[in-house]
Amino acid sequence: MTAPDPAPGPLDDVPGSADGVPGPLDGVLVVAVEQAVAAPFATRQLADLGARVIKVERPGEGDFARGYDTTVLGQSSHFVWLNRGKESIALDLKSDDGRETLERLLARADVLVQNLAPGAAGRLGIRSAQAVERHPRLVACEISGYGEGGPYSDRKAYDLLIQCEAGFVSVTGTPEQPVKAGISVADIAAGMYAYSGVLSALHQRHRTGEGQALEVSMLEALGEWMGFPYLYTRYGGTAPVRAGASHATITPYGPVTTATGEVVNLAVQNEREWVLFCEIVLEQPELATDPRFAGGSARQAHRAELDVIVSDVFAGLDVDTAQRRLDDAGIANARQRTMDGFAEHPQLAARDRWRDTDTPAGPVRMPLPPVTAGWAEPTGAVPAAGADTGSILRWLDESPPHTTS
């Protein structure tokens, strides 16, 4: 007689990874001549999908992002975030031996990702077109600040500078003060388009047998994300106002402070929600037909008056009551959490979304990749600089390069 199945628990219907099932990029070799954020972000995603990622670093210091800070058990927070699941080989690419070893890696690779300065990449012969010419099966992706050609192609590019050039800073902040994003949005945008571009090119190679030269510029990647303010400004005549954490063109949509000092963000999206918001949340149903607030454009024109009304109501509610009223009215809302609040988020805990990742200084708690699927979770460690040089060199001696036939 078999035992009955246990009663289903609250998380039994949450999809999880299948232990032992290889990731979809198992068997794909990625060579990453990378530094800082953009390219490492792209190749970290490839590693999470099961690719073997060999990170080429300078002898001694390695990727300069290793020195950004020492906050994670004495290691850089940026580096730990971006380099899970990779192997590290130390190569002096200014030497003949280093360049020869890199070329041996490329002869076996499926993917090359690099974000060196255009001149440096060109001298090494690893601009995308150069690499694919020598290795026709290779998917080669280069990430730069401004792209090939044009007056900006040789300019240095860092995240803040690209945020400025793309107009991002002009629409972010308060009416009095433009601000940059608190994270590296230009780098992340470029890294995500490099990642999706590589996946697309690998799919194309599966059909055609041919590699592909890819180019991603940080300016164009972040520029894609600027579509709404660009169109609003070009065809509306004025730029969206900087509204802090509030929406620039919809109101009420943004933060309000409760009696307990905690901040709730709310979003009223349409007229039906506006009526419910007035009736259930504000308990002032007459506001729904007040001509000052009749329609989104009117509410925007009288934003200051409406903000005072909404703020006064929420100042008399504790945070739990405020969220209960919003939920009862069907108004989307969220607590404005700190990073400590995010780390202890009840939804992430309920879905078991945290795992320990090994690093040279000990395990570090990190979130799982956001795509939940039927393959094994990433378990790779963050490497020490050059930690895998010996094993990779031995593997090169034993592993034949790809043939072009």
CATH number at residue 302: 3.30.1540.10
Confidence of residue 244 (pLDDT cuts 50, 70, 90): confident
The pair of three-digit structure tokens given for residue 77, joined into one six-digit string: 């927070």
The pair of three-digit structure tokens given for residue 139, joined into one six-digit string: 């998917």
Q: What is the DSSP letter of 362?
A: S
177 and 296 share a domain? no
328 and 361 share a domain? no
Q: What is the DSSP letter of 155?
A: S
Please identify every residue annotated as catalytic: 187
pTM of structure = 0.87
Q: Is residue 10 part of a domain?
A: no
Q: Is residue 114 part of a domain?
A: yes
Expressed as residue numbers, the domain containing 388 is 29-227+355-398
CATH of the domain at 61: 3.40.50.10540
Q: Is residue 269 part of a domain?
A: yes
Q: Is residue 117 part of a domain?
A: yes
71 and 198 share a domain? yes
80 and 215 share a domain? yes
Q: Is residue 165 part of a domain?
A: yes
Give the H/E segment covering residue 124.
helix 118-124
Each residue of 291-300: pLDDT tens digit?
A: 999 888 889 8
392 three-state secondary structure: helix
169 and 318 share a domain? no
141 and 62 share a domain? yes
104 and 146 share a domain? yes
In the prediction, which pLDDT does 10 show?
39
Residue closest to 190 by CA, chosen among 340, 41, 8, 345:
41
Each residue of 181-227: pLDDT tens digit?
A: 999 999 999 999 999 999 999 999 999 999 999 999 999 999 999 99
**CB 40, CB 82: distance < 8 Å:** yes
Residue 245 predicted with pLDDT over 80: no
223 and 86 share a domain? yes
Q: Is residue 142 part of a domain?
A: yes
144 and 113 share a domain? yes
209 and 316 share a domain? no
156 and 205 share a domain? yes
| Total tally of structural domains belonging to the chain | 2
Each residue of 76-92: pLDDT tens digit?
A: 999 999 999 999 999 99
Cα-based torsion angle of the residue sequence 290, 295, 298, 303 in order, rounded to the nearest 10 degrees: 80
